[in-house]
Amino acid sequence: MKIISYNVNGIRAAIQKGLIDWIKVVDPDIICIQETKAQLHQIPIIDFEEAGYRGYWFSAQKKGYSGVGILTKKKPDNIVYGMNIEKYDFEGRFIRLDYGEISFVSVYHPSGSSGDLRQAFKMQWLDDFQNYINDLKKTRPNLILSGDYNICHEAIDIHDPIRNAKSSGFLPEERNWMTGFLNSGFIDTFRHLNKEPDNYSWWSYRANARARNLGWRIDYHMISNSLEDKLKRALILPDAKHSDHCPVVVEMDL
């Protein structure tokens, strides 16, 4: 089973850059999408259906902002929109599909790069997200949490760890949260299988960063420890250029 996570930085813009044709070629079973920046009526549902996918979408109340979705070839047993926490659901950051004993989540963690208020919001989200997942695991222990976490965990995950040491997305408190999250029962699938540097999933539009591979690895498939024996392969697809992010892939025997 091939699962992709992709922050598309505006689904309508990504479609104009060939996203749907690319999906047809890569042919994943599930695609977790973040930052749709669209309301439901603005998403070309029929085009995705013609490509073989059902789409489930959870948009932000604010137009042109945030939003998550999941495209899947198989109808889920259950769909959960949001976390039932108003301030986060208002921003459209979480959607979950259940298939038997496995749950797939598309999640878009906040960025704190715009200033102190949003950084504080991000840190509160991280605490609340951890608590939410801790509770969810009691009834849904087999989780695949795919999305843009807006955090580089280790120095290997960022092109310039020294100069970015005080940058949102690589702050000590964010990195410590990530360590704690993994220790609570999750596996960073890519790093579990790949120890090589220079693998990134996001690049600034400035300074020709993508061509120079001056990137950050902030997009993840986190899986419950219980699913470790199902993990087969994990990779990043930097040649897909529909966004300032690129897709990340995990293949599992489910």
Q: What is the pLDDT of residues 187-243, one digit of tens each?
A: 999 999 999 999 999 999 999 999 999 999 999 999 999 999 999 999 999 999 999
Q: Which residue ranges make up each domain of the chain?
A: 2-252
- Write down the catalytic residue from 148, 157, 188, 219: 148
Catalytic residue check, 229: no
Q: Which residue has the tokens 């769909």?
A: 79
Q: How far apart are CA 59 and CA 4, in angstroms?
A: 19
Query: Strand pairing partners for 104?
Result: 97, 144
Contact 11, 37 (CB under 8 A): yes
Supply the CATH classification number for the domain 2-252.
Answer: 3.60.10.10
Strands, DSSP E only, in 189-240? 202-203, 215-216, 219-224, 231-236
pTM of the predicted model as reported, rounded to 2 decimal places: 0.98
Contact 15, 47 (CB under 8 A): yes
Residue-level pLDDT at 140: 98
Q: What are the tens digits of pLDDT across the range 21-41?
A: 999 999 999 999 999 999 999
Give the number of other CB atoms < 10 A from CB of residue 120. 11
Q: Which residue has the tokens 């044709």?
A: 21
- % of residues, the chain, pLDDT over 70: 100
Residue 96 tokens, joined: 């979950």
Residue-level pLDDT at 220: 99
Largest CA distance in the chain: 47
